[in-house]
A = this chain, B = another copy of it.
Amino acid sequence: MSSLLDFLTLENQLCFAIYETNSQFTKLYSNVLHPFGITYPQYLVLLALWERNGMTVKELGERLKLGTGTLTPMIKRMETNGWVRKERAANDERKVCIFLEAKALDEKHAITEVIAKEVLACNIELAEYEALLQQLKALQGKLSTGL
């Protein structure tokens, strides 16, 4: 990109590059996760819960930056499929805590293994991976000022 005149071409839009890459990750991960019967967003929920089991819907929403309009029906599907269980907090009946079911704990290794294998197959250098991660976090910080 040589000047701001090129700003409006699709090819030079950072937002579009992110949009496209996100689609690619979604498709790649969906393929791998399909045999397990989970979707890519559901896998992100599992990742969050594997790290900290028993989070409330609100905490999960803060972690994944998702609202209840997305999470409530998604958790219901994961509940139906035996991945998680809902439990009302005893001290505050408004809160609903989400706990992993045995299935989610048992499948953890198998799932992370196929995901890791798939990512490794893409031959992404560790340095490249980390650099991108750092830059994305820097970008996230800057974008958040506009919200």
Is B137's CB under 8 angstroms from A121's CB?
Answer: no
Q: Bin the interface of chain A by size.
A: 35 or more
In the bound complex, how far is the Cα of B7 from the Cα of A47, in angstroms?
11
Would you give the shortest CB distance from A43 to chain B, in whole angstroms?
A: 9
Interface set, chain A 109-136, CB cutoff 8 A to B: 112, 116, 118, 121-124, 126, 128-133, 135-136
Is B135's CB under 8 angstroms from A131's CB?
Answer: yes
| Residue among A20, A21, A47 having the largest count of chain B Cβ atoms under 10 Å | A21
How many identical subunits does the complex contain?
2
Write the chain B residue with the least CB distance to A1.
Answer: B130
In the bound complex, how far is the Cα of B144 from the Cα of A32, in angstroms?
14
Is A24's CB under 8 angstroms from B143's CB?
Answer: yes
Is A143's CB under 8 angstroms from B28's CB?
Answer: yes
* Interface 9-mer from A10-18, A73-81, A98-106: A10-18
The yes or no answer to A65 lying at the interface (CB within 8 A) is yes
Other contacts beyond A7-B116, A15-B25, A17-B133: 7, CB < 8 A: A1-B126, A8-B47, A8-B112, A13-B47, A14-B136, A19-B25, A24-B143
